[in-house]
Structure 1
Amino acid sequence: MFKRLVIAVVVLGIVVGGIVWFKYFRDGMIAQFLSGMTPPPVPVTAETVEAVTWQPGVDAIGTALAARGVDLAIESGGLVREILFAANDAVTEGQPLVQIDDDSEKASLAAAQAALGVAQTELRRTETLTARGVNAANTMENAEAQTVSARAEVAQVQTALDSKRMTAPFAGVIGISRIEVGQYVTPGTIYATLQDLSQMQVDFAVPEQQISALVLGREITVATEVGEFSATGRIIAIEPRIDPNSRLVSVRAEVDNQAGNLFPGQFLRVRIALPVEDGVIAVPQTAVTSTLYGDSIYVVQPGEADDELVVDQVFVKLGRRSGARIEVVEGIAAGQQIVTSGQNRLIDGAKVVVDTSVTLDAPADE
């Protein structure tokens, strides 16, 4: 019995030892096989860094508004007799737009004019008699006062009559009518909007850090999100205070709109052009890798073997952005070749091959 137990233990030991030996043998062979393998170079795109002419600027979001735009309101209440415009009509300054019933004012004007005529006749008669020495001085004064009062009454009624006819305060494009013929309206009722679209203004805000870039008369460029429209303008007003909540400075610019492509309330992208700078190192934003340790760019360097290329991860200090490019203040210099795409598979010292079959769109230097 004891002999059988010993034999079983020995057999079990041999089996376990064989399994352990095979595991170590397999792992060693795998490690030996992998150590002899050389990973293929990683294909990347690259470009040579060059010093460029840089057009710095400040980007902002703006809202278009008409240089002159108002909500037209009824001056004197009454029944609407005529609407003398259609939506989107181009109207001229002083053009009649709405006629309110004015029969009562016309009657009052006729009565006032008649009273003025009587007063003037009485004044002339009094002047004749006074010249002959018949009337007293106070009679002449009363006649003159009556004439002045009658003339003032005519002017007052004429003003009331004029307020029944709404006219355009300036030339522009009128909107949709908000009243109907026969409707009773009260003073202050909005009946349409009038916008002068020949000149547009753009309101936008920039961070307080950019306040030094705000100069009256400085050129700006605006672009719409719809289509490819863009136009230039100039800054005409700067708010003399910084909003303590948002830390933004409000700015207003003026843009020519003779073609009528901009409309009040439209969303616009605004760029304030700053003086041009020469010799700036700018790279595609795709070349920059950002991590918790900082921003870095892979620089292509010659390897140990002929025609071998490796990459060196260089940490850089970034500056301003313009379009698809970003300024590099420190870290790389002109003439170096950098990786512009494919760096997500790279580590420091990795071998690469530049793939010239893929060309990234390189925007023109701004």
Structure 2
Amino acid sequence: MFVRAPALLVAFALLCSLSSIQAYANEGPLVEVVKVERNLVRDELVTFGSLRPDESVMIRPEIAGRIAQLHFREGQRIEAGALLVSLDDSIARAELAQAQANLNLAENNFNRAQMLFKRGASNAQALDEANAQQQASRASLALSQARLDKTRILAPYDGVLGLRQVSPGDYLSEGQDIVNLEVLDPLKVDFRIPQKAVSQIRLKQVIEISLDAYPGERFTGEIFAINPRLDEAGRSQAIRAHISNRDGRLSPGQFVRVSVILAERPNALVIPEEAIMPVGEQLLVNLVVEGKVELREVKLGKRLAGKVEVLEGLQGDETLISAGWQKVRAGASVRTKVVEQAP
């Protein structure tokens, strides 16, 4: 009786072990599964461009003269109409006073000529000559006033000044550089697209730019001008967009990577690339339906970083095998471990 007990215990243990192995075999292998995600997917045309100021002008005098005073600091933000430079205006004021005196004399002569003509003491020719002299004196006064106004150089629009090229007391010739004025908000983005993509570009189309100075960031803009003529040498079309620069983080002259947004699908179906099983010309995924494997053919769209868009074959609520599908077959039972997709 005591001799048979150990044998019975061993047999019972073997039976339990076989049952466990059989149960494990029925459950199937362990695989990693993920849920189909819905993400924003964009079709983009990627090219390169550069930033330009929205407006840029070199401040120059229209008349020659000596600088009496500079009214700005380098790098200063100014408003349209602000006084930037005063030239010595002593000669211009003297010319204006002379022109005013000549006009007063011409007006008196004209009035006297009119009076004499009415009395019959003068002819029409003398009256016409007096009138012409009066008009010439008025024009001379306007010219002198314009020259005086040119001694005050004003800002043509709001912007930021650059580095000045002159100093107080310098004698300036006509058209000599004084200081550059830049409009930095918004900025222009100039870039080119190849001939084959011309039909995909339109006004008010959204673009995004990125640059090495701000890794991982994107700045949004909008196309506002398209050159109707293609470059004959490169067969490319010049495009110009506006981009906001309220915080002043961007600078003219920077080299940027430009992404033209051609289309957006905000609820696109996205799965990991490693879940795709190529079989000949077919692309399949392994779904898990009620604990068993089901094959499904899919049609893929845009490829992303480690992921891929699914255009056809999935509804969006499926669970599919992302790792371990090599050791399963259609209809087989599997054990699953849910993993999250990387962002």
CA distance in 2, matches of 1:245, 1:144: 62
CA distance in structure 2 between the aligned counterparts of 1:60 and 1:46, rounded to whole angstroms:
38
* 8 Å CA contact 1:57, 1:271 repeated in 2: no
TM-aligned CA distance change 1:105 to 1:297, over 3 Å: same
Corresponding letter in the other structure for 1:187? E
Q: CA distance change for structure 1 residues 163 and 65 in 2, over 3 Å: closer, same or farther?
A: same
Task: Tell me: CA distance 1:256–1:278, structure 2 relative to 1, closer, same or farther (3 Å).
Answer: closer
Shift of 1:64: 1.9
Unaligned 5+ segments in structure 2 are 1-30, 289-297, 329-336
- For the pair 1:265 / 2:253, whether they are aligned, the reply is yes
Specify the alignment match of 2:209 in structure 1.
222
Q: Identity over aligned residues, as a percent? A: 29
Question: Residues 245 and 270 from structure 1, CA distance in 2 versus in 1: closer, same or farther, beyond 3 angstroms?
Answer: same
| Superposed CA offset, 1:7-54 (max 9, x none) | xxxxxxxxxxxxxxxxxxxxxxxxxxxxxxxxxxxxxx9764736444
Alignment partners' CA distance in 1, 2:87 and 2:160: 22
2:321 corresponds, among 337, 351, 362, to 337
Letter in 1 for 2:129: N
TM-score (norm 1): 0.66
Equivalences for 1:137-156 in 2 at 5 Å? Answer: 137-156=124-143
Compared CA separation, residues 53 and 242, structure 1 to 2 (3 A): farther
Match for 1:50 among 36, 39, 54?
36
Which of the numbers 149, 162, 166 marks the counterpart of 1:175? 162
1:210 aligns with 2:208: no
Q: Is the 8 A contact 1:48 1:338 kept in 2?
A: yes
Describe the shift of the 1:229–1:69 C-alpha distance in structure 2 as closer, same or farther (beyond 3 A): farther
1:191 maps to 178
Report the alpha carbon displacement of residue 154 of structure 1 after superposing the two structures with TM. Answer: 1.4
Question: For each residue in 1:279-338, what CA deviation from the matched residue of structure 2 results, as whole angstroms up to 9, or x when unmatched?
Answer: 7565567899xxxxx999998899xxxxxxxxxxxxx99754456645578999975434
For residue 229 of structure 2, the aligned residue among 241, 250, 262 is: 241
Q: Which amino acid aligns with 1:74?
A: P
Q: Distance in 1 between matches of 2:322 and 2:257?
A: 31
| Cα deviations by residue, 1:326-362 (Å, 9 ceiling, x for unpaired) | 55789999754345xxxxxxxx9799xxxx9x98843
Residue 72 (structure 2) aligned to one of 85, 93, 97 = 85
Aligned residues: 300
1:120 aligns with 2:107: yes
Letter in 1 for 2:321: Q
Q: 1:65 aligns to what SS in structure 2?
A: strand
TM-score (norm 2): 0.70
CA distance in 2 between partners of 1:176 and 1:296 (Å): 64
1:349/1:175 CA distance change after superposition, 3 Å: same
Contact 1:80/1:101 (<8 A) preserved: yes
Pair 1:89–1:135, CA change in 2 (3 A): same
- Whole-Å separation in 1 of the counterparts to 2:115 and 2:77: 56
Partner of residue 277, structure 1: 265
- Structure 1 residue matching 2:186: 3-state secondary structure: strand
Match of 2:97? 110
Q: SS of 2:182's equivalent? A: strand
Amino acid of the structure 1 residue aligned with 2:42: P
2:275–2:286: 8 Å Cα contact kept in structure 1?
Answer: no
CA contact (8 A) 1:57 1:322 kept: no
Instruction: Give the C-alpha shift of residue 76 in structure 1.
Output: 1.5
CA contact (8 A) 1:99 1:166 kept: yes
SS in 2 for 1:111: helix
Q: Secondary structure at the match of 2:178?
A: strand
1:74 alignment counterpart: 61
Letter in 2 for 1:66: P
Give the direction of change, closer, same or farther, for the CA distance of 1:260–1:298 in structure 2 (3 Å limit): same
TM superposition shift of 1:168: 0.7
**1:39 paired residue number:** none
Say if 1:62 and 1:284 are closer, same or farther in 2 by CA, change over 3 A.
Answer: farther
Between the aligned partners of 1:320 and 1:236, the Cα distance in structure 2 is 28
2:80 alignment partner, SS class = coil
CA contact (8 A) 1:222 1:231 kept: yes
Shift of residue 238, structure 1, vs aligned partner: 1.5
- 2:120 counterpart letter in structure 1: G
Q: Does 1:95 align with 2:79?
A: no
Greater displacement, 267-276 / 88-97: 267-276
* 280 and 199 in structure 1: CA distance in 2 versus 1, 3 angstrom threshold: closer
- Report the Cα distance in structure 2 between the residues aligned to 1:47 and 1:69, rounded to whole angstroms: 57
